Amino acid sequence: MPLTRLLLIGANSSKCINGEKGDKVVIAPKNQKAKANFGHLDDPYAGEVILCFQLDDGSDQARELLRSLGIRDGDRRCDGLIFYSRDGSPERTICLVELKHSRVEEAAAQLIRTRQCIEDLLCKECGEPGKKYIQRLQWKACLYRHGASPDETSKVLRELRHYFKHYYSCDHQSADIGPFLRGESEQRMAEGRRARKRER
């Protein structure tokens, strides 16, 4: 199973995906009280399972992880994968993350190719009995861009729309992708649309 491979090779306790030149996205704790207690024994992520896997940092561990997933050295792939779930919820999320310091034009292809590789592997290994669980997966894509223009970013997001129901763009000022992972950003957008309809 791909998740077993991820766990055995790439498991760690970090709540971030790193890119080049110090770029990174983080998953901060949900509530402010938990953030204040972060240094204590309280679990700031209670009720959540968040597993971050670094796929493309050039390390031996990342290369071994990619090989185990059937992704060759020259293949396009994204920088990281985040598995997310909440206690008591049947939903499982796989969020693929690509961090670009400047040129974003290849980001969509990298995110899409990584999804295809992992999804193919899941389908092959889970077979017919696991099909219903695979269909329940929420696939999300996150593009971190440091210096890309809004036009370049919009073009990438348009490409992602065909492969991911949920996609997000952030930068160094908004690098906490916790709300996106938790579905809070989609919920706020839906509430805003409903409010605008009521106003009409």
22-72 pLDDT, tens digit each: 899 999 998 755 454 555 457 888 899 999 999 988 888 888 888 888 888
State how far the Cα of 38 lies from the Cα of 136, in Å rounded to an integer. Answer: 32
| For residues 137-146, average pLDDT | 94
**Percent of the residues in the chain that have a pLDDT greater than 70, as a whole number:** 86
State how far the Cα of 92 lies from the Cα of 112, in Å rounded to an integer. Answer: 19
State how far the Cα of 32 lies from the Cα of 115, in Å rounded to an integer. Answer: 33
Residue 125's pLDDT band (cuts 50, 70, 90): confident
Residue 192's pLDDT band (cuts 50, 70, 90): very low
Indicate the pTM of the whole model.
0.86
Contact 82, 118 (CB under 8 A): no
Contact 15, 27 (CB under 8 A): yes
Q: DSSP 3-state assignment of 100?
A: strand
